[in-house]
Structure 1
Amino acid sequence: MGETKLRSGRIGWDWFPFVIVFASLIFLLWPTLEGIFSRWLKFDESYSHGFLLLLVSVVLVFRVVRLRTPVPGFYPFWLVPFMLALLAYGLGDLLRVQALQHLMVVPLILGALAVLLGWKQVRWFIAPVGLVFFAMPVWDFLAWTLQLITVEINQLLLGLFNIEFEVEGVFVYLIGVGTFEIAHGCSGLRYLLVGQSLSLIYGELNLRTLRARVILFATSVFLALFANWVRVFVIIYMGYETDMQTGLIEDHDSFGWWVFAATLVPLFLIGRRLENSKGERATDAEGGVNESEAHSGGSSARLKVGIAITALLPLMVWFVLPSSDGAVKSEPMALNIELDGERFAPLFSKNLEGWRPRVRNPDRVYVQTLFDRSLATDQSGFDESLFAAVYSYDYQRESAELIQYSNRVYDREEWHPEAFFTLSGPDGAPMKGITLRHRITGDVIHLAYTYYVEGFWETDDLRAKLAQVRGFVNARSDASLIVFGVSCDDCNGKDRLSEVVHSMMEDVVASVDKQVLQKKRGES
């Protein structure tokens, strides 16, 4: 009876370090985990298998715990990679790059385990925990590359069947028949993620050597991509043969999963063959953790210190990072900018020859088309329109940030860039210049724009993102896109744009700085 109580108390103490450390880690990660779970609930996307993978991961983790009985200790060397992962996660928060935060979830979990278990014990958890990585919503970056590969493979296959076709980007034109688009859903990403997951699970349950697991994993990658190539080719070929009347076009999703299921047969046959290989048979099943390994983590006092340090680090990161909470405004507030009224007067328009930037959820906006009064007496003055705009965020948060996929200076489907150049505003503020021509009307406009992020000037998207990190050390949190434009019939667009920038820039920047100062005074 006494022995049973002692063992029960020992098991309870063994779980205690993990409960404390992971409670702290989940507290830091919770906003990111909520975003991941919301993607898993979208069952028509590539990550709808997320909750199932999480359940399998938990089962595999408990399987390892049951078979190997890990004993917690403190292994300070692993604090280094754990802190690096925390730093990367914090950087993703500062830059509002969710993909970087998603990438760090699995390394943070394994890093925390490594601090408490050391390499000899944590290595058995790499595959069970790492399985969830195949449900992290970061794999979309591969989709475009997979689309292009699919196009190239099908271009080769269609050529073998003497089918008359043309390829442009991800579009396959069957001459006289119709057009197929190798869209995001045709990239094969879903099959790739599921195939990788299945091979990892199979390897964890049935294979012992790293070599066998790598072979099976690589095979799953090839077969998943091969299934998608076959699916797309069959659909295009049947569309060609039936003059686009085949039912596979409408039912291409279900057809794809049947093709993928067929590729699982050779995958598991290869897995079975690997199980029976000489290397697998020669490897004895490893038992639980030996005594020296179990107690190499140090004394109970040392373990308590390790628990305290490992649990405090995520809390410190949470405390240091600026808050990203805040509702997105349904309508942006007006940004009051006072330009030289004696020289510039407004026109009744908010665009320049049909163009205007596309900016999502700014907090404050100023958009105005103007004309130059000094040219009004000259007939040529009526053929010129000027444009000034500022899209400003009081602070950047999810769905309301300066550099994001939805924000575009111009729509590439409507406007074609003809020339790029650089300009300098007052006090040397850098500006990127571009000449655009409308793809249908042929109208030409000249633009200059810059990013004003937390007091720093940038013209490059990546550098504007990184400016948020530099701005972490100052008192500002705002970010603005400042744009000027010129449309004129007979003028040097670059020179005229430079004149406009030097005439308006100081007033624009002064208004932005004034708004930031007023907001800080209001908060204090």
Structure 2
Amino acid sequence: MSKSEALKKTERDGTALTFAENKAFFISGFAIFCLWLVFSWQGLRTVVEIWYGNEIFNHGFFIVPGAFYLIYLKRHELLAQPIYTTPLAFIVIVPAVLLYVVGVAGDIQLFMHAATFTLLPALIWLMIGTKAAKNILFPLVFMLFSVPVGEQLIPYLQEIAADGSVALLQLTGVPLYRSGLYIEIPQGRFLVAEACSGVSFFIASFVIGSLYAYLNLVSTKRRVAFVAISLIFPVLANIVRVYGIILIAYWTDMEHAAGADHLIYGWFFFAFVILCLLGIGELMRETVQSERRDYSVPKKPSISFTIFTVLFALFIVSTAWAMNITSANNATKLPSKPLLNDLMGENCSATSWQPIIVNADVEETIYLSDTNCGVKVYAAWFSEQDNELVSDLHRIFDPERYSLAETQQLVINDTAFTVYNVVSVSGEKLSIVRWYNVDDKLFTSSVKTKVHQLKNVLLGNASGGRMYVLAAEGHDLSATNSDLSTALSQLVD
């Protein structure tokens, strides 16, 4: 039976998925969707703020609508399958719900966002059954691209771009000096900043490459190969972009490839990269003869009210638990004792270094005594009410003014501290250390700090904590680390 014949027969028999014939199915689906909206509201609100506020993730607005359009394109194959509710979806739903509650408890947005956009396809799976879900597997998985993740790759992509562009410049005989992420040529100095990391290229290419492979390639090997190319190609292209900008500046004595020219060149290059990627896809595209498929007449959906009852109970209990956690986490806005207790400050001239800390409740800054104004300490208190002690938004140095040269390890009182050696445009060198204090316990790992805070919240305790950032000035890194070790010993004790 052809597609048109099946559809005509469906219309005659009245067995299509019409509202009049399947009120219970549609009402149940709408109720589940509303329940998802209510349960995931905090995650949805914060993810929309990120989509709107961060240009790297602007594509997030189009992912879910695009996924539903892909499902619409598969509607005939989908309706040809038996539609029934399945309890197998709880294998994904229950962990996703728990992950969301943990995200709310620890104010971990990544957990909330991942759980939100894992729940949506899992609920669709629950509604339509396993056989039908297999027909739209890619659109369901595609929804996960809504999760705003990938900024953590920026430092690594910066290093790759700097390493690759320096290698190409040396290969073409351009004289240069590199210090961290700064690349100096006779005509001027360049910083491979976060905007030059190519993370936007990388994420956009991954999304477009995955979508293109699904729509235009049939062989699994070719699909995997093209997705791999979509990950590697933008990284290599970004190296060429950074190299091209510096090379143009070298040839034109900084007349071009700076300022507005820099941005225009970047966007045109991005468009060129996407066109090249699609061109590679066309070369890999397979010629597939259209097949005549038989479309069986869709049967009336089968729904289980027992499954819906369990689902509603799970959401209600989890929502109540999350609300209880939120109301219980009411730590005092002020720390119980001074942040820099028993530390003697000195009247020193201000330095250019200052960490970028977002929305702290209390902040203090002093210079340690007996260091000749060489060691500066910043301390901040976070109550975890509309702020976060551990957050990717916090920066221990301004990336527009300083560049990371290397990291080292210092062990003090059996505790390992990571020392970030940074250098400024003017050549100023700093060694910076960060650590946390929660419940009078010292943590140097942001992950362990977050886990401890999460445990406090789940137990109904306050989760507020302190952040300390210590910076030692000096051009001699060995001497700086010695001063830093002494200062840390005083603070840790």
Q: TM-score, normalised by structure 1?
A: 0.70
Write out aligned runs for 1:250-289 (5 A).
Answer: 250-277=260-287, 280-281=288-289, 284=291
Separation (CA, whole Å) in 1 of partners of 2:417 and 2:281? 57
**Aligned-partner residue type, residue 309 of structure 2:** A
Segment of structure 1 superposing worse, 358-367 or 23-32 = 358-367
**Aligned-partner residue type, residue 256 of structure 1:** G
**How much does 1:63 deviate?**
2.3
The alignment covers a number of residue pairs equal to: 465
Q: Give RMSD over aligned pairs.
A: 5.1
8 Å contact 2:102–2:454 — kept in the other structure? yes
Identity %: 18
Aligned pair partner of 1:451 in 418, 421, 437: 437
SS at match of 2:178: strand
Separation (CA, whole Å) in 1 of partners of 2:397 and 2:260? 34
Matched, 1:471 2:471: no
Separation (CA, whole Å) in 2 of partners of 1:411 and 1:497? 22
**How much does 1:421 deviate?**
4.5
**Aligned-partner residue type, residue 471 of structure 1:** N
Counterpart position of 1:513: none
Counterpart position of 1:462: 447
Matched, 1:37 2:48: yes
Aligned pair partner of 1:173 in 184, 198, 201: 184
Separation (CA, whole Å) in 2 of partners of 1:225 and 1:446? 29
Higher RCO by CA contacts (8 Å cutoff, separation 6 or greater): 2
SS at match of 1:251: helix
**How much does 1:393 deviate?**
4.1
Aligned pair partner of 2:65 in 55, 66, 77: 55
Separation (CA, whole Å) in 2 of partners of 1:2 and 1:28? 40
Counterpart position of 1:111: 122
Distance 1:432 1:360, change over 3 A: farther
Distance 1:438 1:51, change over 3 A: closer
Counterpart position of 1:18: 29
**How much does 1:333 deviate?**
4.8
**Aligned-partner residue type, residue 317 of structure 2:** M
Separation (CA, whole Å) in 2 of partners of 1:74 and 1:477? 41
**How much does 1:33 deviate?**
1.5
Counterpart position of 2:104: 93
8 Å contact 1:166–1:172 — kept in the other structure? yes
Distance 1:319 1:259, change over 3 A: same
**How much does 1:346 deviate?**
8.5
**How much does 1:484 deviate?**
12
SS at match of 2:461: coil
Write out aligned runs for 1:346-357 (5 A).
Answer: none
8 Å contact 1:431–1:449 — kept in the other structure? no
SS at match of 1:147: helix
Separation (CA, whole Å) in 1 of partners of 2:197 and 2:485? 42
**How much does 1:164 deviate?**
1.0
Counterpart position of 1:80: 91
Deviation per residue, 1:486-520 (Å, 9 max, x gap):
x9xxxx99899878877xxxxxxxxxxxxxxxxxx
Q: Which runs of 5+ in 2 are unaligned?
A: 1-10, 473-482
**How much does 1:210 deviate?**
2.9
Distance 1:228 1:410, change over 3 A: closer
Matched, 1:192 2:202: yes
8 Å contact 2:390–2:450 — kept in the other structure? yes
**How much does 1:161 deviate?**
0.9
Deviation per residue, 1:160-202 (Å, 9 max, x gap):
211111223322211x211222222222222222223333333
Distance 1:127 1:475, change over 3 A: closer
Q: TM-score, normalised by structure 2?
A: 0.73
Separation (CA, whole Å) in 2 of partners of 1:495 and 1:263? 51
Separation (CA, whole Å) in 2 of partners of 1:467 and 1:31? 22
Matched, 1:402 2:389: yes
SS at match of 2:260: coil
8 Å contact 2:339–2:381 — kept in the other structure? no
Separation (CA, whole Å) in 1 of partners of 2:225 and 2:15? 46
8 Å contact 1:365–1:391 — kept in the other structure? yes
8 Å contact 1:334–1:366 — kept in the other structure? no
Max Rg structure = 1
Q: Which runs of 5+ in 1 are unaligned?
A: 372-380, 424-429, 503-524
Distance 1:362 1:199, change over 3 A: closer
